Amino acid sequence: MIKLKSIPLILFGSMILSLSTMAMNDDSSDENYSNVDPELEGSTSILDLPPEVIINIVNYLDLKGTLEIGEVSTYFELISRLMIKGPIRHHHLQINLEPEYNEKNEQFLNFLIKILPEKPILKINLKNIKHNTEYFQYFLKCLGSRISSFSFQQSFRSYDSKQMQYLIEAIENGYLTNLVALDLSREKLGFRYELNPEDIKSLLNVIKYVPNLKELYLAGNIIGPEGAALIAEAAKNGYFAKFQKLNLSNNGLDPVGIKDLLIAIQYMPDLKELYLADNIIGQEGSALIAEAAKNGYFAKLQTLNLSNNELDYVGIKDLLIAIQYILDLKELYLAGNIIGPKGAALIAEAAKNGYFAKLQTLNLSNSQLGHKGFQIFLNCVTFMQLEKLYLASNKIGYQGMAYLKDAPQKFLKYLQILDLNGNEIGSKGLKNFLAVARLMKNLQSLHLALNNIDSKWIRDLNRFPCIQILDLRENNLGYNGLRELSKYGGDKFIQNIKELHLMSNNIGPKGIEHLKEFVNLITIDLRENNLGDGGFKNLSNIVDKLTNLKIIYLNGNDISDQKIKKYLLNFGDIQLFYKSKRISKVTYSRASEYDWLQ
């Protein structure tokens, strides 16, 4: 991707406009820049350019790369980014609004209207817009017809309840008729505010004005049975006829709420993804789901998330009755339920009966399997073609790892992601696990955090030829473990690693030097490793060899501010996270704004 860094433009006040595309012509040369630069020289704002020049820039960038214009304001660090990928087909606009509406904001919106085609291609994520409700309303009026996906992204204190009111008014006024996806989950609202049944009622009263809506995310809003009843009523009126994704996780849905929700789902014939995690469905709710499945309510369902729903052996039994009628199920999440060995036996029997023939992802983390349940589960995996398997926090232990040697080779062959975090396997269990490593030819992501693993067998992780993400957090590797991994891992293994998570392994300053062997690292997590100033210095001396490195996590390492300032420039454009802040050479150049760097 090409970056035109030399163009001397400053976008108004406190915004950056970034137009980016994937390069489509690798043979293009820098000489072609001359077609753009003369028009740009001497301008102080993109808004000063004639519309035809703007269009030429956009069309040019569709083939060439990235154009970044402007500087971040030191006053409020507000960023507006327009991302264009491909020949103006896929767009992403992320905008932080200024403290108040003004003429420059209006000019900016007019600029966007000029360059964007008349079709719903924008994915809007409005960040931290407290005290900007008027501009928010104006923004939706100007660009609403071009928005296909909308969400907030608020900080803890930034949500203003008027924003919901204005969003509903915008929908009612027909500004968002082309909306396909709407995300009002609580994490997007900043956790300070949650939608209540009255908000849900107001939203559902205007949902008819969004005829193409296919995705609705309301996770974490505790809408309860009352909200589920409102959704059922709206569904009966045909407002959800095109729905494909519905997320009502963590909404206080008990069996009464599930009953109403299932009434709604029968009016969603195209539903493909249903997220109901962290509710209180229980045995009764599971039986209702089974009955609905028998009646064909889930004919097209591919993803079902029922994690943390107080499902025990009986609840799992009813759920498996439902699953036999969900013929295209590809992802199933049951983490945090009371499955145990008896539930594992039910799952094994269902697998043998062909219920999981198309299943690709299965999450049974924190399900009280134990090593016995794990052994029973392994007896059924030959009837699955799983690509992603999550079994964290099941107390599988080293005994369970020993059962892997009897697992069918077909099962091991397809796995791409395996999560065994928090299973107390120890180094003895790791040795048992390594015995089948050669069969896991497609495993790309391996998670072994919280397993009391030391340095004894760690070098033999090189038996996994395709690992790109390796998670070894909170073990006992120490300096020797990282040395063993880097010195004896082998070139192919080491060069494949792109993410390495080593939090809380007591690596110390001396262990840092061994990271230089991981030449293709993109992300490294070194939190809580007793690095101190010496470790930070050692790290600064080797980062030039890690040419792909982009992110380093360093919290909890007792690094002095003086050493950070001294060596920070060695890290170039790498993002460092320390003391819950992101730091880089950019922040160094404005160090006076960061009290902890003074």
Nearest Cα residue to 417 out of 380, 381, 449, 442: 442
| pLDDT tens per residue across span 60-103 | 433 333 333 333 222 222 223 333 333 333 344 444 444 445 55
Q: Tokens for 149, please give them.
A: 């996906």
Work out the widest C-alpha separation in the chain, in whole angstroms: 74
| pLDDT tens per residue across span 389-441 | 999 999 999 999 999 888 777 777 889 999 999 999 999 999 999 988 888 88
Low-confidence residues in the chain, pLDDT < 70? 1-135, 153-161, 190-192, 580-598
Tell me what pLDDT residue 398 has: 95
Count of other CB atoms within 10 angstroms of residue 51: 11
Q: Tokens for 168, please give them.
A: 């509903």
- Per-domain residue ranges for the chain? 194-338
Domain 194-338 in this protein, CATH class: alpha beta
Q: Tokens for 429, please give them.
A: 């269990």
Tell me what pLDDT residue 365 has: 97
In whole angstroms, give the CA distance from residue 76 to residue 584: 18
Its sign, for the CA torsion 402, 406, 411, 412, is positive
Nearest Cα residue to 310 out of 358, 345, 268, 258: 258
In whole angstroms, give the CA distance from residue 480 to residue 493: 18
Tell me what pLDDT residue 93 has: 47
